[in-house]
Structure 1
Amino acid sequence: MGSHRRTAHSRLPGLDRNTRATVLTVAVASAAAALAAVPADAAPKDTPADTKAEVDRLYEQAEQATEAFNKADERADKLRTELRTTQDEVARGQERINAMRRALGLLAGAQYRSGGIDPSLALMLSSDPDSYLDKAGTLDRISARHAGELTELRAAQRDLAQERAGARRKLAELDAVRKAVARHKRGVETKLARARQLLNSLPDADRAAYERSSRGGERPDLSGAGPASSGRAATALAAAQSALGKPYVWGANGPSAFDCSGLMQWSYARAGVALPRTSQAQRYAGRQVPLSQARPGDLVAYGADAHHIGIYAGNGQVIHAPYPGAPVRYDPVGMMPVSSVTRV
């Protein structure tokens, strides 16, 4: 079941994350509508049951692609922050070197006016001190008076070269991650568009029945569900309950729309807990316990790759954001194979 996560935002200017996610979801819907406009003789020949199973499979694949998108997008955010820091360090390092060279230039000018330049100053003012030293062949020519300044300048220049190399590496990685984000975005959109195309190929009655089933039922009986595992787990569960009925938007993490891991991240943030962005990382955000010992507020991950996740509500129920068209809702904890239960 399910698909989730963030709209590949390519950083639309002036829009926050949820707005970007909603805008791109509308784009996906438009693409789906276009794909749905196929000739009648091109409709799938499968039975309605086959079509529904294929739609479910496509939603699961879209969720896997969404998780990959979220992971790449999270890495891109981190790289942008690191790159800004590195660029600031490069600028500060260059200014430090410039200041040192200006001071040495003043000293060299004074020496020139008094009859010549100390070889150590010529070395320090060289654009390539190491090359100068290679030519000189020895440090013996450098006066003790300026040895400390030379050592400091050379160290600063080496540091600056390392910082610039680090910035180049981060730029290259950021470019690669941006391409991965775009690739995963296309994957999600393709799967969702195909799922919508298949749904539109169903007879009206079958399509209506599928969409009714995707809405979930009423609030289940949670009496006797037992206490949450902690105060923060209780707060997170209450936040998830407040999101019931909110739409699924891949890449969204609240407060007006969610994908599956976005709902978990938002719910636990209300309890002051910073969860990672992806369901794969969230499954390791605490202590894992057996399903038989699950308590309200625990995270329940699905699939061997943990591509889907929900929050345990008690009495065999979870709250989750299932897939596009299905709002945040309750479902049985065994709706898919459970891969882990995590107590945060």
Structure 2
Amino acid sequence: MASQRLKRTMRGALTASAIITMVSATAAPAIAQPPAQNNESEALQKFRELSAKSELVNEEYNKATDDKAAKQAELDKATSDLAAANQAKTTAAATENQYRGQVESLSFASLRGARFNKLSALLTGTSTQDFLDRSSALGVLAADNAKALSELHNAVTTATEAEARTADAQNRATEARNAASKLQAEINTRRQELHKQIKVAEAEYKKLSQAEKDKLRSGGASADNGQYLGPPGAANTAMQAALSRRGDPYKWSGMSPGAFDCSGLMMWSYGQAGIRLPRSSRAQYTVGRAVSRDALQHGDLLFFGGSAGSIHHVAMYVGDGKMVHAPNTGDVVKVVPLGGGGSDYFGAKRVVG
């Protein structure tokens, strides 16, 4: 009996334990954690985290700059349209006044007796020829009046349309101006946040040993200075331009030889091929056509981030499963395997072809 009670007690305990385990597993979903890097110091790991955060803020700043440029273009067009609409409005008003004057003159002439009907011309005419002459004059007068009325109607319609275009252009200009001002305020906020992140990251970078700085720059491997060739064309020209900047240091908001951030390198490189790209990696993702990872070609842009709205890094495919990019602070433009851009590869775009 005691043995049976003991077995029942043990079964009850095991069942309760299993239930607790199942409830715990259901109530606490697993959260993805970054892979541990036991061979790196705490300072280096902290710097990597700060650098990644700063890169995200940098791309948000670049995106705001892109948006501001787009709104400024809208404002410029709306302002131009407004000037043209005002000119059309002035011209239409002058035309309306011209034909309104003609109609008023013809109406006044009619009131004074200048208008006769053909019966009165027949009764008062002294001869058949006189009748024909008077009838002809009456026909011309009637035609002139009809033409003047038609032109007046057209002028009034044109003036009304010009007025509407002017109002529309004025509204668009006002909206674009307000949006540009709002984006400028956002840019200022992003710039302040970026400068703050830069200072923190730079402070952590100074704490690194020379060996850690060398490891950060090399990625744990020797520099890849090999040649990569694609088919002749704009994509290869852009790729060669990017490869020519190997060794240039990373710099937040950098976009010219000597210092680049990730999207700045892409924009400059394609610029050498005569193709203008937007400033930020998120805006660059809107260019070209999507290509699958197994169909990559030289010059394709590679994007990293959880979604199109959270892209934080961009690189360029150079062939052989490798890419060229500007990684982050303390590093340089270099060629690395595709995984070197991060574990959150999002997609690729082909700019030309």
TM-score, length basis structure 2: 0.65
Q: What is the DSSP-based 3-state SS (H/G/I as helix, E as strand, rest coil) of the residue aligned with 1:248?
A: coil
Report deviation, 1:110. Answer: 8.7
How has the CA–CA distance of structure 1 residues 182 and 296 changed in structure 2, closer, same or farther, with 3 Å as cutoff?
A: same
Residues 145-173 of structure 1: CA distance to partner in whole angstroms, max 9, x if unpaired? 63222222122112111111111111111
Instruction: Indicate the percent of aligned positions where both proteins have the same amino acid.
Output: 26
Which region of structure 1 is more displaced relative to structure 2, 154-163 or 324-333?
324-333
Aligned counterpart in structure 1 of residue 216 of structure 2, from 214, 224, 234: 214
Counterpart-to-counterpart distance in 1, 2:288 and 2:152: 57
Give, as a single letter, the amino acid of the residue that structure 1 aligns with 2:303: A
Distance in 2 (alpha carbons) for counterparts of 1:77 and 1:172: 13
> How far 1:69 moved relative to its partner?
1.5
CA–CA distance in structure 2, aligned partners of residues 94 and 157 of structure 1 = 8
Task: Give the direction of change, closer, same or farther, for the CA distance of 1:293–1:114 in structure 2 (3 Å limit).
Answer: closer
Alpha-carbon offset, residue 238 of structure 1: 1.1
* Residues 229/144 of structure 1: CA separation in 2 closer, same or farther (3 Å cut): closer
1:99 pairs with 2:106: no
CA distance 1:221–1:97, shift in 2 (3 Å)? closer
Among 60, 71, 75, which residue is 2:63 paired with?
Answer: 71
Q: Distance in 1 between matches of 2:87 and 2:291?
A: 54
Contact 1:259 / 1:321 at 8 angstroms: preserved in 2?
A: yes
Q: CA deviation at 1:113?
A: 10
**Corresponding residue of 1:306:** 311
Contact 1:280 1:306 in 2 (8 A): yes
Question: What value does the CA root-mean-square deviation take over the aligned residues?
Answer: 3.3
Cα pair 2:66 2:283 within 8 Å, conserved = no
Change (3 A) 1:109 1:228: closer
Structure 1: distance between partners of 2:325 and 2:245: 10
Map 1:45-124 onto structure 2 (within 5 A): 49-102=41-94, 104=96
Q: Can you list the C-alpha shifts for 1:104-161, whole angstroms capped at 9, x where unaligned?
A: 5567789999998xxxxxxxxxxxxxxxxxxxxxxxxx96663222222122112111
Residue by residue, what CA displacement relative to the aligned partner does 1:53-93 show, whole Å, maximum 9, x if unpaired? 22212211221122122122112112212212211221222
Q: Could you tell me which of 316, 325, 339 is aligned with 2:346?
A: 339
Aligned counterpart in structure 2 of residue 241 of structure 1, from 237, 240, 243: 243
Give structure 2 stretches of 5+ with no counterpart.
1-39, 109-147
Measure, in 2, the Cα distance between the counterparts of 1:110 and 1:322: 75
| Higher relative contact order (CA closer than 8 Å, sequence separation 6+) | 1
- Measured in 2, the distance between the counterparts of 1:339 and 1:331 equals 17
Aligned AA for 2:83? A
> Residue 198 of structure 1: CA displacement?
2.4
1:322 aligns with 2:327: yes
Question: Contact 1:296 / 1:313 at 8 angstroms: preserved in 2?
Answer: yes
Deviation of 1:333 after TM superposition, in Å, equals 2.4
Cα deviation for residue 290 of structure 1 reads 4.6
In the alignment, is the contact (CA less than 8 A) between 2:100 and 2:152 conserved in 1? Answer: no
What TM-score do you get using the length of structure 1 for normalisation? 0.66
Q: Please report how far the alpha carbon of residue 239 of structure 1 lies from its aligned counterpart in structure 2 after TM superposition.
A: 0.8
- Cα 1:87–1:288 change in 2 (3 A) is closer
Which residue is 2:173 aligned to? 167
Q: Against the structure 1 CA distance between its residues 284 and 274, is the aligned structure 2 distance closer, same or farther, given a 3 Å change threshold?
A: same
Q: How many residues align?
A: 267
The equivalent of 1:178 in structure 2 is: 184
Quick one: distance in 1 between partners of 2:87 and 2:200? 55
Q: Offset of 1:102 from its aligned partner?
A: 4.2
**1:158 corresponds to:** 164
Partner of 1:3: none
Larger Rg: 2
Contact 1:222 1:315 in 2 (8 A): no
For residues 317 and 287 of structure 2, the distance between their equivalents in structure 1, rounded to whole angstroms, comes to: 15
Bigger shift: residues 327-336 or 153-162: 327-336
* Counterpart pick for 2:262 among 246, 260, 263: 260
- Which segments of structure 1 move beyond 6 Å, counting only runs of 4 or more? 106-116
Separation (CA, whole Å) in 2 of partners of 1:329 and 1:264: 13
CA distance in 2, matches of 1:179, 1:218: 44
Asked if 1 retains the 8 angstrom alpha-carbon contact of 2:96 and 2:156, the reply is no
Name 1:251's counterpart in structure 2: 253
Secondary structure, counterpart of 1:245 in structure 2: coil
| Distance 1:96-1:235 versus aligned 2 partners, 3 A rule | closer
**Structure 2 CA distance for partners of 1:189 and 1:86, relative to 1, 3 Å:** same
